[in-house]
Amino acid sequence: MKQTETQKKNKKIAAAVYLYQANNDGEWGELRFDFENGTAEIVKLADWNTEKSNIFAKTAIRFVQRLPEARLLKSVVVSFESETLGK
């Protein structure tokens, strides 16, 4: 994942946009976060395999939402295992 955009309000990060890949050679997807309201959305899935991409996007959203504002990363590799991905 890589952060491509942030919006600040009162010196705090209010929103951010991240691009992500479900694998190293696929298309980039887009995730948008609204930290003021505690919401996130999948704007674009990264892969034609929507099952795999959707699982990864939701995992990435949970990862970023758990970070304190001071720890928002410019880029990060989020790894996880899922039985569904192997099918």
pTM of the predicted model as reported, rounded to 2 decimal places: 0.78
What is the mean predicted confidence (pLDDT) over 8-37? Answer: 88
Q: Look at the alpha carbons of 52, 53, 55, 60 in this order and tell me if their dihedral is positive or negative.
A: positive
What is the mean predicted confidence (pLDDT) over 13-37? Answer: 88
pLDDT in tens, 30-64: 999 999 999 999 999 887 667 777 888 888 898 88
- Beta carbons of 47 and 53 less than 8 angstroms apart: yes
Each domain of the chain, given as residue ranges in start order, spans 2-72
Q: How far apart are CA 86 and CA 65, in angstroms?
A: 26
Nearest to 1 by CA among 20, 24, 27: 20
Q: What pLDDT was estimated at residue 30?
A: 94
Does residue 85 register a pLDDT over 50?
no
User: In 30-77, where does DSSP find H-type helix?
Assistant: 50-66
